[in-house]
Every structure is written in C-alpha cells, then in structure tokens.
Amino acid sequence: MAEMGLPAVTTDLDQARRDLDEYGLALLGDALSPTQLSAAKARLTEQAAGEEAHGAAYHDGSGDPKRPLSGPNQRVWNLINKGEIFREIAVSPDVLALSRHMLGQDILLSSMTANIAKKGGVPMAIHTDQNYVPLETPYPMVCDVAWMLVDFTEDNGATRVVPGSHKWNRLPAPGEKVETIPAVGPAGTALIFDGRLWHGTGANRTDAPRYALFTYFCRAMCRQQENFSLSLAPEVYDQCSEELLSLLGFQVWHTLGMIEGTFHGQIMRRPERFSGELQP
C-alpha cells in the first residue's frame, strides 16, 4: 500500500534531492524550456509516424500475454540516433545532477526511449527498474527520468507510482494489489525516480496521445540497456560531444571499456584497424 502522497513539483534542486531521498521520486518543474518542449514533441511525433510508415513501429499495451508486441501504445527506441533535440536533452545539467545524487558521479545513459500512450492501452504491471539486481543491494543501481511532453494527468495515463517503496527492499508479488498514485505534472516537468521505486505506465482514457521521453541512467559498472557501441549510427557518433560520448559508454572507466590497454578517462573512438594475429 502507498504510504505517502506525491511530492510537489519544484524547481529547487535541493528540494528535489530531499524528495528523491524521502519519496524515491521528484518532480522537477520547467526541466524543458518551451523551445525544447516544442522541438522534442514535433520530432517524436514525426519519428513515430515515420516508423509506422516504414513498418518499423513497435507497439505494446494490449494486455494480451500471447500478443505482447501489439496494442495502441507506441515505443520509439534509441532516440540518440533520431534527433539533435534528444541528444541535447540527454545531457540536461539539472537532471544529470539529480541522477548523480542517486547513482554517484560516474553514470551512463542506459537508454533513451519514448512511450506514446494512446486510448485503449492497459496499465503496465507495477514493477521496479532494477529487478535484475539482488534485493540486498542497499542503494539504487539505476534511475529513470520521464520527461513530460504533454501534461500528465490521471486520465491520460500518467505514470503510476508507489512513493516510499524504494525503501521496502522487496519486489511486487505476482498479482499483488498495490495502491498507486498518478505522477501528474505540467508539460516540461521531469519525473525522476529511484530504480527501486514501484511504478508502471497508466491507462490513457482520453482521445489525445500522452507523449513522454525516458532517459534511463545506470552506475558506470552496469551493462547498458541499449548497446550504443553497436547501435550508435556513425554519422551521429561524429555529432556527439565528449560529455555525451562519456554517458553513452565510450569513455574508459577505471579498467572497464578499454581497447588494447587504454587508460581511465580516455574517450574511445571506434578503431579503424584491429590488432589480430601478428608475426615479427
């Protein structure tokens, strides 16, 4: 059962940090400027329509276990490849600061995706985003950020959350009845939450799609959800700042991510030649 209500939307980073500690979530107001909000929604709408037109769209939300990849909701994956506005949002300083509050200074972007929830989709099962991590792990290994591209309301499927559940040290049991609260907020708000928080997409009961972006972060030692070393388009790679390349996993972290013995902190470009079997 939910133990507490929802924290208020705030633009104060210190308050947001306190909310993350207490509730397991924070609502950061004005996380997107009006220009960013408009550009992100326009690019996402265009990309989603393009993927539909090319037969590449990914759907879910049917609630039918025999047809999991069907339903009215549309997911758009690997947004880093799909628009400069998404690459800009991925390195938003305030959200990175709050993510690092939970995960430490050295973090990776595990994935950047979108969810367009439409009428007829069923609520997602309540879950956590680090259910692959041992429960005795006493801190979050991942965190998620839902960027609201439209107002999030209970009627249009705002993410359902269980405030305080990040402290419960357990996962929802199959079929467990869970009291949830809709994480509502105005367009431009970022819902940031601990990877242990119980949550799930709500059901959109309106005629208008509910648009959201998701930046999913992890600690630097974790395997990322999106394999950027394989999936990042070459032409996009050359457009990425060193800060973004570091978040995508192209920077050596201690001894992880090396190529032929490179050093901590070095940004690794894709090699053009490889050392194979050699003879003098």
Q: Is residue 176 part of a domain?
A: yes
One-letter identity of residue 63: G
For 12, phi then psi, to 5°, come to: -90, 115
Domain CATH number, residue 216: 2.60.120.620
30: DSSP letter: T
For 103, phi then psi, to 5°, come to: -110, -10
- Residues 47-67 have pLDDT tens digits of 999 999 999 999 998 877 777
Question: 73: domain range?
Answer: 13-226
Q: Is residue 138 part of a domain?
A: yes
pLDDT of 1 reads: 46
Instruction: Quote the percentage of the chain above a pLDDT of 70.
Output: 99
pLDDT of 104 reads: 98
Distances (CA, A) of 193 to 42, 67, 95: 26, 29, 11
Q: Is residue 156 part of a domain?
A: yes
Strand order in the sheet with 142-148: 25-28, 190-194, 142-148, 210-219, 107-117, 73-76, 58-60
Give the confidence band of 3 by pLDDT, cuts at 50, 70, 90. Answer: low
Are the C-beta atoms of 7 and 183 separated by less than 8 Å?
A: no
One-letter identity of residue 142: V
Q: Would the pLDDT of 68 be above 90?
A: no
Q: Is residue 129 part of a domain?
A: yes
Look at the chain and report how many structural domains it folds into. Answer: 1
